[in-house]
Amino acid sequence: MAKKITVVGGGLAGLVAAVVCAEAGAEVTVHEAHRSLGGRGRAIGGPYLAHEGAHVFYADGPHWTWLKERGLIGALGRPAIRDYRMGFVRDGRMRRLPPAAFVRMMATGPRTAPVEVDFHTWAAGRYGERAARIAANAISVVTFDADTGRLSAAFVWGLLRRVFAPRPPAVRWVIGGWQAVIDRLATRARDLGVRVELGSRANELPDGPTIVATELSSARVLLGDDTLRWESGNCVLFDLAVCSARGDRFICWDLDGGGFHESCSMQDPTAAPEGETLFQIDVPIRPGESRPEATGRAEALADLAVPGWRDRVTWRRSGTARHRTGALDLPGRTWRDRPAIDRGDGVFLAGDMVAAPGMRGEISVNSAIRAAEGALRALRVAGQAVR
């Protein structure tokens, strides 16, 4: 029988799954509803490389090893020493250093925290209310949640240790960002014989092993399974290009409100025209807060991180990301409790909100590999059944 596997969704997870299956010799078809591949890994075309979400990588997980082994990462960038200006907003002012209590927390804290307790309760009991709030706001760059303290202590503490614990930094900036990796994945898939159908929306499950690599809301409809739900964040993304100036910050954390500011072009000159600097500012939307109000807070953060930007702006845009910012674990839950990858009957889920470790794009890669391995096993079982 034909060794066919169908992948629904041509984002990061779908492309990784397609490559894994094709490398094993399967005949793979990818159905992508949009006219271009990439999903949340897309960046806009034109002179500004502005992403729909995160644009950095962490090089300390299996996702990075998988990408690197296949030559999918490409060249890395880094900001010049003169541009590497960090900042921490506290009490409405930009500071050069984080609070001492936060530094002590990250330097002396335990390796793990309890799953059953919310982070604020756990951290406040050990380090005090103020330090707990600061730590929760510091890691909102990963959760995109306005009340990160309500999440599982184990979940939040694991993220904090990964990002802030004193050790060699694992952050990597790929030239071209996630979009460049998506493009190389797509080329790799096509070189392996993967058939890619753009503008092809799957309204029902096909026959044979199938990997559903879509947002949970779309998977819920396609599979008719209302249990496919999980907690996610809600934030404003504010992209800003300005004429370059020496006082602009490369990266800063808003410890008052959970916002985050980072340059896209100081480490990757291809992200903006010469003489300009591109930034992205993320601000979690508070309960009951309107998009204009949240955008106003993002602009206020820009006032501190990019002084005088309103007189230097060359391009700007803003948007929201709701339930599109990766999985968040509430107290009593871990990544193992998220929607299972294996749905039975040869159907598998992949994406950034399913039962696989990592954060955001890493979950997509790790779940896609597992889903592909499951689909290949299902294919072998089906082949044995017809012999």
Question: What's the CA angle centered on 187, arms 186 and 190, to 5 degrees?
Answer: 85
Report yes or no on 188 lying in a domain. Answer: yes
Average of per-residue pLDDT across 93-108:
95
Residues 222 and 313 reside in one and the same domain: no
Report yes or no on 184 lying in a domain. Answer: yes
Residue 138's pLDDT band, with cuts at 50, 70 and 90, is: very high
pLDDT tens per residue across span 167-184: 777 899 999 999 999 999
Residue 384 pLDDT: 52
User: Residue 93 pLDDT > 50, yes or no?
Assistant: yes
Residue 176 pLDDT: 93
Residues 147 and 168 reside in one and the same domain: yes
Q: Which of 322, 344, 362 is the last residue of a domain?
A: 322
Residue 73's pLDDT band, with cuts at 50, 70 and 90, is: very high
Residue 2's pLDDT band, with cuts at 50, 70 and 90, is: low
Report yes or no on 369 lying in a domain. Answer: yes
- Tokens linked to 173: 């900036």
Residue 264: CATH number of its domain: 3.90.660.50
Residues 261 and 308 reside in one and the same domain: yes
Average of per-residue pLDDT across 288-312:
97
Report yes or no on 203 lying in a domain. Answer: yes
H helices of the chain, in order, are 12-23, 62-69, 100-108, 119-127, 129-138, 140-143, 153-164, 177-191, 216-223, 291-305, 309-312, 361-385
> Mean pLDDT score of the chain, rounded to an integer?
94
Average of per-residue pLDDT across 381-385:
61
Residues 108 and 156 reside in one and the same domain: yes
Residues 240 and 145 reside in one and the same domain: yes
Residues 219 and 242 reside in one and the same domain: no
Report yes or no on 364 lying in a domain. Answer: yes
User: Residue 77 pLDDT > 90, yes or no?
Assistant: yes
DSSP state of 7: E
Residues 275 and 300 reside in one and the same domain: yes
Task: State which residues form the domain around 379.
Answer: 4-44+178-229+332-385
Between the alpha carbon of residue 191 and those of residues 42, 177, 184, 195, the distances in Å are 21, 22, 10, 10
User: Residue 345 pLDDT > 80, yes or no?
Assistant: yes
Residue 318's pLDDT band, with cuts at 50, 70 and 90, is: very high
More confident residue, 39 or 230: 230
Q: Which of 291, 322, 353 is the last residue of a domain?
A: 322
Residues 253 and 314 reside in one and the same domain: yes
- Structurally, the chain folds into a number of domains equal to 2
Question: What's the CA angle centered on 368, arms 148 and 387, to 5 degrees?
Answer: 150
Residue 224's pLDDT band, with cuts at 50, 70 and 90, is: very high
Strand 276-284 relative to strand 234-243, pairing: antiparallel
Q: Which of 322, 349, 367 is the last residue of a domain?
A: 322
Report yes or no on 49 lying in a domain. Answer: no
Report yes or no on 290 lying in a domain. Answer: yes
Report yes or no on 191 lying in a domain. Answer: yes
Residues 243 and 213 reside in one and the same domain: no
Residues 144 and 238 reside in one and the same domain: yes
Tokens 């601000």 belong to which residue? 283
pLDDT tens per residue across span 17-52: 999 999 999 999 999 999 999 988 889 878 999 987
Residue 194: CATH number of its domain: 3.50.50.60
Is 283 in a helix, a strand, or coil? strand
pTM: predicted TM-score of the whole model, two decimal places: 0.95
User: Residue 324 pLDDT > 50, yes or no?
Assistant: yes
Residues 126 and 238 reside in one and the same domain: yes
User: Residue 387 pLDDT > 80, yes or no?
Assistant: no
Residue 283's pLDDT band, with cuts at 50, 70 and 90, is: very high
Residues 83 and 191 reside in one and the same domain: no
Residue 385 pLDDT: 47
Residue 335 pLDDT: 97
- Tokens linked to 274: 């010469």
Residue 366 pLDDT: 97
